[in-house]
Amino acid sequence: MSEATELRRWLTSGVDAVKRARESLDAINVFPVADSDTGTNIYLTLQEGNRAVAKLPDDATHREVVAAFARGALLGARGNSGVIVSQYLSGFLTAIDERGGLNKAKPAAIAESLEIAAEAAYRAVSSPVEGTILSVARAAAKGARDAAKVKAGREAVAVAAVVSARAALALTQEQLPSARDAGVVDAGAAGLVLQLEMLAETLAGRDALAALDEVEWELRDGRSVIHGPGPHTHGIPGGGAYEVMFVAEPEDASEIARLRGELEAVGDSVTVSYGHGLAQAHVHTDAPEAAVDIAQSVDARQIVVRSLLMSHVGDRSATGVVALTSCPGLAEPLSDAGAVVLVVPDPTRMKKRELRRAVKDASGSSAVVVAGNPALRIAARELAARRRHWHMTVLDAGHEAQVIAAVAAAALATPGEDLAVLMSDAVARTEVESSSVDALDDDVDRMIGPDTDVVTLILARGVPPEIADHVRISVAQVAPLADIQIYAGGHGEPGILIGVESSPVA
């Protein structure tokens, strides 16, 4: 038996447990925002960790498995809960590896590793809130420590951790106002309890918890979980209608501290996990462009932005929309229209891992991808060619104005309409041009006609919006009913991106 056999068994059973409970966890998700995605976020996070482990040979060492899972989960972490769980498990795995590995660890070593994991989870969160996954982590560590002190065996220590974790989980229903109002326990805390239960069963056997009382996740008094109309902050300053996540390579601890502080200044639910030279950052914010600017300041290569309100009303069984853009300023309007947005400031540094992640975030079954740059479109098509059990359509677009047209068409779709067809049609009807301040008027005059429906201008950094005044006059003379949209793209060159969308042929 390989030295990592028990470890692999636990990691696999952990993701399987969340997969089975995924819909239930999503249903009770009310904190920090009621966006019904905690189960999905934890599952996708664990799945990425296990995907990395699956690439190792069967005889990989315990340390190799730990490193692969920790890096995979960190890079694939989704949402606030996913970042915390990845940091918690990375902390535990690293500590248990240093103490001889999971299959050899003494009772005290297991307790110590759980304490280190809890500390790691707390460090990842800028403003810890009790009654959450953090409370369960701390309770599990205390339960294990108390058992180890009375000379309990390793199996009993693991079971004691679950007993304490379940007790803490039950308390979350009263500790969090939103959970109390909805009659549920905290979803993230429930997800962590599942991992601890699988750890106990790995060490003590499948029936180790059979005699213990389980914790009901929802009150059985006829009430249903009611999600609010959109994001809420439970009194935490800053708010946040958008979720922004990115991975960076900070130079040192001071840069991590600076990153955390800057994110706290623009939003809440800030988590920053660190390991293997990489930092995974997460924030809920009402100023997504400011968060994207912070990400760029630490040279984040790909930045995921999504509207929490739109994800709340979305259906993961439906076709999702993914927008790939090199214009940071387009993240907010594109996410407002329902797309999961992947900001790639430098298309030559596109990573398929982040694209795959954005696609999974958009839908659980299929997605339409539209790219604002030919290099991004090529990367998307390469990924689509490798997807066998998942439908991914990449549109024939390569300009930012076509991305806006396609996503707008998707936002106006009615149930049952084919998004790929609607979006492809919008792309085909959008003539595009890359222009400059000096050439703008001539380029627009050449492109517009009586059938012009929408004129889109995407301005680079430093280009004043007043530059569009002459365009408005020209369009009013030729196509008086046309809509003119001006966006601050926040990109470098070219100075102005133009899109002219014609009316559909009757």
Report residue 269: phi and psi, to 5°: 50, 40
Cβ atoms 121, 151 nearer than 8 A: no
CA 291 to chain CA centroid, Å, is 14
Closest CA to 37 of 25, 50, 46: 25
Distance CA 480, CA 450 (A): 8
Contact present, 484 and 415 (Cβ < 8 Å): no
Query: Distance (Å, rounded) from C-alpha 447 to C-alpha 430?
Result: 10
Q: What angle do CA 257, 245, 96 make, to 5 degrees?
A: 65
Domains of the chain and CATH, by start? 5-204 (1.25.40.340), 239-300 (3.30.70), 318-428 (3.40.50.510), 430-502 (3.30.2320)
Query: Which 8-state DSSP code applies to residue 225?
Result: -
Q: Considering only CA atoms, which of 261, 247, 204 is closest in space to residue 45?
A: 247
pLDDT tens track of the chain, all 506 residues?
678 999 999 999 999 999 999 989 999 988 877 767 899 999 999 999 999 999 999 999 999 999 999 999 998 888 889 999 999 999 999 999 999 999 999 999 999 999 999 999 999 898 888 899 999 999 999 999 999 999 999 999 999 999 999 999 999 999 988 888 889 999 999 999 999 999 999 999 989 999 888 898 986 444 444 333 333 333 333 357 899 999 888 888 888 889 999 999 999 889 998 887 888 899 999 999 999 999 999 888 779 999 987 764 456 668 899 999 999 999 999 999 999 999 998 888 887 888 888 888 888 778 999 999 999 999 999 988 886 656 899 999 999 999 999 999 999 998 889 999 999 999 999 999 999 999 999 999 999 999 999 999 999 999 999 998 989 999 999 999 999 999 999 999 899 999 999 987 65
Rounded (5°) CA angle 233-340-182: 35
- This prediction's pTM: 0.79
Closest CA to 447 of 394, 497, 505, 393: 497
Measured in Å, how far apart are the chain's first and last C-alpha atoms? 69
